[in-house]
Structures are given as C-alpha cells and as structure tokens.
C-alpha cells in the first residue's frame, strides 16, 4: 500500500524535517505539506524536506490562486524540481476560506478560478509562451525560462461536489481534506468518478488521496484528545457540514468558529466530541489505528496520507505506523 505523510505546519520546521527523514527511511510514498495561513509556509518547508531526504516525493498542498499567481506557483515548482528532479508533485486548491478571509482575501468564483488556474499553470510548466485571456486570469506573453524535468502530477483539493467533479475532469488526482469520514469519502469518490467521465479518454484515471488525522498512543484518551484541536480548526468551515453529517455526529459550527476567532483552543476543543473524533480520524494503539485505517481505504482512498497528531513523541509514533502498512 502507498502511504503518504502530511504536515499541517502547526509545529516547528525542525521537527517536521526530522519526521520527513524518518518517513524517507521507512519508505513512505510522499510528504504533503499543507499551506495553512499564519503557520509554516508550504513551499519553503518543501524545499527543506527535499534537501534533507533522498527518495521520498514532496508535495506542497495546496497552491491557491487566492494567494499565489500561476506564474509564482510555476516558478516555485520548477525550482523544486530542478533541485530534486522527479521528486516533486503539486496540489492546487482554493485553500481555507475562513483563514483567507481573516487575512483579507475572499474566495470568489472558485470553479471558474480553479479551471483557469490549472490551465495557465500547466501552460507555464510546459514551457509555453502564455497568452491567456480568461474571466479570472490574463497573461500577456510570459514564458518560463526553465521548466521541470518531466510533467508534474497535479492534484486538486476538493470537498464539495462541483470541485470534486472538476478534479476528476482535469486533475491528475483529487485530494480530500483531513477530517472526512469514510461515508463522506465514498460519496466524494463517486463525484470524482462522475467528473472523470468528461475527461480525455487518453488520460489516466485520477487518483484519490486523502489526509487522515492520526493519533497513536497506548492511552485511548490521549489519542482521542490529540485530534480535537485540529478537527476544531477545520470544522469551523461551513463546507464541512455535510461531511460532519455523514460521520453521524453534530458540531455547532458557529460556536466553533467564534472560539477559533478568539484563539480559544481549549474552548474550541469542547465542540468536538469523542464520537466525532472516532468518525473522522484514526486514534488509538498502532494495531487499532491499522484496523481503523482500513475503513478509510475501503471507502475509496487510493493514497491514504497520515497527518500526525499529539505530542512530538506521538507524532513520531504516527509516522512509524507506516511500517505496519
């Protein structure tokens, strides 16, 4: 089984590099560096991982049109590939709408924006002179001075139906957010396949990857508590409402969003019940986590990507879980 590793950028670059080296030694498939605003930068961190590892793929996730123009993303990806040829993939996506709004950026016309962004980004990465007149982007003859050694697979982050279908149509893969319950993953996989029906028949069918919050501990209570802050952070976004329902639980998203806005993390965690953690993540002993992971893979994930939770030692245990897989 291919198994990836995800970092959320909430802890130090030093620790992430050490875990990246461990993942490389274990033989994990890939490292996916999330781009959460106000935390560690995905592109800068990804270059550090490439410098300190030997074989593992590295993927900044996602490069968003609301903070990075297509040419800026193309420059970053081509530079990374020049440094470590064949070890770089890419992910595009709208990003976290709530965090973007806090930073003064608004997510507008996401489907049109992402379709144009993918088109322009691929043109730049292929070395074309780009003349593009779209509804969102306009490029007037820019051309990259260097390009990647080979075409880079580009996944698209998606949660809602329209973006899932678009990722199936034009992406090399779809990337699902951490916190998706297995029942919701199965639903997402169906939408990606629907989009793939509009795909060029010569193209390979899109992969489906997904982040899975992973807390490993001999103490079940410790493991469950370890995932609550992260789930609180992402479940404040309204687009997760259907996902939460699919998991069989309920979350007061308005109250949660207010607590996060105050940076009241302890208060925010109270909105995430133990049952919600169990439905939307894997938590427990290594053996329990392996069994729980089976439900996520069976739901439709081609590439499960573990997002380590908890203390530094707990996060190390989450990476080491890959040895069992």
Per-residue pLDDT of the chain (325 residues; tens, 9 = 90+): 899 999 999 999 999 999 999 999 999 999 999 999 999 999 999 999 999 999 999 999 999 999 999 999 999 999 999 999 999 999 999 998 878 999 999 999 999 999 999 999 999 999 999 999 999 999 999 999 999 999 999 999 998 999 999 999 999 999 999 999 999 999 999 999 999 999 988 788 999 999 999 999 999 899 999 999 889 988 988 889 999 999 999 999 999 999 999 999 999 999 999 999 999 999 999 999 999 999 999 999 999 999 999 999 999 999 999 998 8
With the C-alpha atoms ordered 248, 252, 253, 256, is the resulting torsion angle positive or negative? negative
Strand partners of residue 92: 63, 156
Between the alpha carbon of residue 256 and those of residues 51, 122, 271, 309, the distances in Å are 38, 38, 6, 20
Q: How confident is the model at residue 238, as a pLDDT?
A: 86
| Residues in contact with 294: Cβ distance below 8 Å, sequence separation at least 6, in sequence order | none
CATH number at residue 123: 3.20.20.30
Please report where in the chains the tokens 């620790």 appear, as a residue.
Answer: 15
Q: How confident is the model at residue 241, as a pLDDT?
A: 93
Please report where in the chains the tokens 């590099």 appear, as a residue.
Answer: 17
Is 227 among the domain residues?
no
**Cβ-count burial of 108 within 10 angstroms (0-12 exposed, 13-18 middle, 19+ buried)?**
exposed
Closest-CA residue to 61 (of 96, 85, 87, 29): 96
Q: How confident is the model at residue 201, as a pLDDT?
A: 81
Q: How confident is the model at residue 60, as a pLDDT?
A: 98
Spatial distance between the Cα atoms of 309 and 232, rounded to a whole number of angstroms? 13
Q: How confident is the model at residue 234, as a pLDDT?
A: 87
Question: Pairing relation of β-strands 57-61 and 138-143?
Answer: unpaired
Spatial distance between the Cα atoms of 26 and 20, rounded to a whole number of angstroms? 10
Which ranges in the chain belong to alpha helices (H)? 13-26, 42-52, 70-83, 97-102, 110-125, 161-170, 182-196, 220-226, 228-235, 241-246, 253-261, 265-269, 274-280, 286-298, 312-320
Is 229 among the domain residues?
no
Is 289 among the domain residues?
no
Question: Pairing relation of β-strands 138-143 and 129-133?
Answer: antiparallel
Q: How confident is the model at residue 239, as a pLDDT?
A: 84
Contact 209, 302 (CB under 8 A): yes
Q: How confident is the model at residue 223, as a pLDDT?
A: 92
Is 224 among the domain residues?
no
Is 259 among the domain residues?
no
DSSP letter, residue 87: -
| Residue 318 domain boundaries | 4-219+302-324
Is 319 among the domain residues?
yes
| Residues in contact with 66: Cβ distance below 8 Å, sequence separation at least 6, in sequence order | 94, 95, 100, 105, 106, 107, 113
Is 235 among the domain residues?
no
Spatial distance between the Cα atoms of 187 and 243, rounded to a whole number of angstroms? 10
Please report where in the chains the tokens 């470590």 appear, as a residue.
Answer: 84
Q: Specify the number of domains making up the chain.
A: 1
Is 244 among the domain residues?
no
Spatial distance between the Cα atoms of 180 and 247, rounded to a whole number of angstroms? 8
Q: How confident is the model at residue 220, as a pLDDT?
A: 87
What's the token pair of residue 122?
């691929």
**Cβ-count burial of 183 within 10 angstroms (0-12 exposed, 13-18 middle, 19+ buried)?**
middle
DSSP structure string for 28-40: -SEEEEE--TTS-
Contact 322, 293 (CB under 8 A): no
Residues 17-56 as b or e (16 or more Cβ within 10 Å = b): bbbbbbbbebebbbbbbbbbbeebebbebbbbbbeebeeb
CA 129 to chain centre: 30
């Amino acid at each position: 089984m291919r198994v990836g590793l995800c970092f959320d950028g909430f802890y130090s670059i030093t620790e992430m590099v050490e875990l990246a080296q461990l993942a490389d030694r274990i033989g994990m498939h890939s490292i996916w560096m999330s781009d959460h605003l106000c935390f560690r930068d995905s592109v800068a961190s990804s270059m550090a991982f490439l410098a300190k590892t030997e074989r593992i793929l590295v993927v900044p996730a996602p490069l968003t049109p609301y903070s990075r123009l297509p040419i800026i993303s193309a420059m970053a990806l081509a530079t990374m590939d020049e440094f470590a040829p064949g070890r770089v993939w890419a992910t595009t996506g709208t990003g976290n709408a709530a965090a973007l709004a806090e930073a003064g950026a608004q997510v507008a016309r996401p489907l049109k924006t992402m379709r144009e962004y993918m088109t322009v980004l691929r043109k730049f990465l292929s070395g074309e002179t780009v003349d593009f007149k779209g509804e969102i982007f306009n490029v007037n003859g820019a051309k990259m001075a260097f390009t990647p050694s080979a075409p880079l697979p580009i996944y698209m982050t998606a949660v809602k139906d329209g973006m899932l279908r678009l990722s199936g149509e034009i992406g090399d893969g779809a990337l699902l957010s951490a916190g998706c319950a297995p029942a919701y993953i199965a639903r997402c996989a169906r939408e990606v396949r629907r989009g793939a029906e509009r795909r060029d028949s010569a193209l390979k069918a899109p992969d489906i990857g997904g982040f899975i919050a992973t807390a490993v501990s001999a103490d079940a209570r410790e493991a469950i508590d370890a995932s609550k802050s992260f789930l609180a952070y992402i479940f404040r976004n309204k687009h997760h409402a259907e996902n939460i329902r699919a998991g069989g639980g309920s979350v007061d998203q308005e109250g949660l969003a207010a607590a996060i806005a105050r940076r009241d993390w302890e208060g925010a965690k109270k909105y995430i019940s133990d049952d919600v953690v169990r439905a939307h993540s894997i938590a427990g002993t290594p053996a329990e986590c392996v069994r729980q992971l089976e439900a996520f893979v069976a739901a439709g994930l081609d590439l499960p990507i573990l997002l380590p939770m908890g203390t530094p030692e707990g996060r190390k245990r989450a990476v080491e879980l890959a040895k069992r897989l």
